Structure 1
């Protein structure tokens, strides 16, 4: 799917801690897959979770940063809770796909409920694809776009292989389209750079 710039179940141990607050300026927007960029609104999944959408305003800021709505788009506390539930379903389903597994039926059902709400229009303007949201409940329609992107990705409508980031504290998802399938990080600029620094420090004896 094109158009964007390029919770059910028992929480994992990583989610048992209260996520730290992060500002909208710290969103992880480098992932090529819209749905996986949304997954990254909870960072450091394998360590102390970093929640980047702690308020409705931050959820709106993430949508705006991904060309899914304007700065005046209304977002409720209830929608924020639903958004986090959607995010975690995408992460679980993507994690299952990363190990050649099939998502849990409950997660597939949740994603399918979201895609059934899809009411945005994709238009071409000046050679650029752009989503136009309905006037009624545009924020929910924006999240339906994210769900549709997740279904297309998980369902094999993209080139590449779904993987989980190998940076020890991350746990994010990405699509490996590299030659030979050797990509290991969700982002070279962040997780890859962390691993390079860690390896360099280890090579120097931890100094």
Structure 2
């Protein structure tokens, strides 16, 4: 029996690197929930995002979790108007530079070709590069942490007034609205 990727992971963030950081959810809650519990889960997440790494080891999982946390710390620092830690920035740049994935158009869809020798490293390179583009791009000032109860997930506020408060209206926004209605 295979698990449904949408039941295991939140896949609703439009920024790939921030979708990756959501593999640890409820960050500000009492008990954060790790969703990358084993190499098979990492493989599942990578496949769901078009980064089809075939073999995933425990070392790959460790490297992925480290990259995820680096992206999260840098994004949260930017959201708070602070300078990211220089060690985290070096790690992000190193992971991006180590990847050898090639973008490819296949039919109507953009995809990635990973090398046979380092597919997970290539996939992590794609994630790091995506993070660099968003964390250092023109919309950097629109990076926010979700204000939803317990969430604190990263998102890019693309609203006209730059006043979005939740990573997703379907999850965190609805929780807040339901709580308000229950309290009225």
Q: So what's the TM-score if we normalise by structure 2?
A: 0.93
Q: Which runs of 5+ in 2 are unaligned?
A: none
> Are 1:84 and 2:65 matched, yes or no?
yes
**2:79 touches 2:141 (CA, 8 Å); kept in 1?**
no
Structure 2 residue aligned with 1:106: 87
1:26 Cα deviation (Å)? 2.1
- Specify which of 91, 96, 103 is matched with residue 77 of structure 2: 96
Aligned pair count?
180
> Are 1:44 and 2:63 matched, yes or no?
no
1:128 Cα deviation (Å)? 2.0
Relative to 1, partners in 2 of residues 1:32 and 1:110: Cα closer, same or farther, differing over 3 Å?
same
For residues 60 and 159 of structure 2, the distance between their equivalents in structure 1, rounded to whole angstroms, comes to: 36
Q: So what's the TM-score if we normalise by structure 1?
A: 0.83
**2:101 touches 2:115 (CA, 8 Å); kept in 1?**
yes
Q: Which runs of 5+ in 1 are unaligned?
A: 1-21
Look up the SS of the partner of 1:181 in the other structure. coil
Look up the SS of the partner of 2:105 in the other structure. strand
Relative to 1, partners in 2 of residues 1:167 and 1:105: Cα closer, same or farther, differing over 3 Å?
same
1:126 Cα deviation (Å)? 2.5
Look up the SS of the partner of 2:98 in the other structure. coil
**1:75 touches 1:139 (CA, 8 Å); kept in 2?**
yes
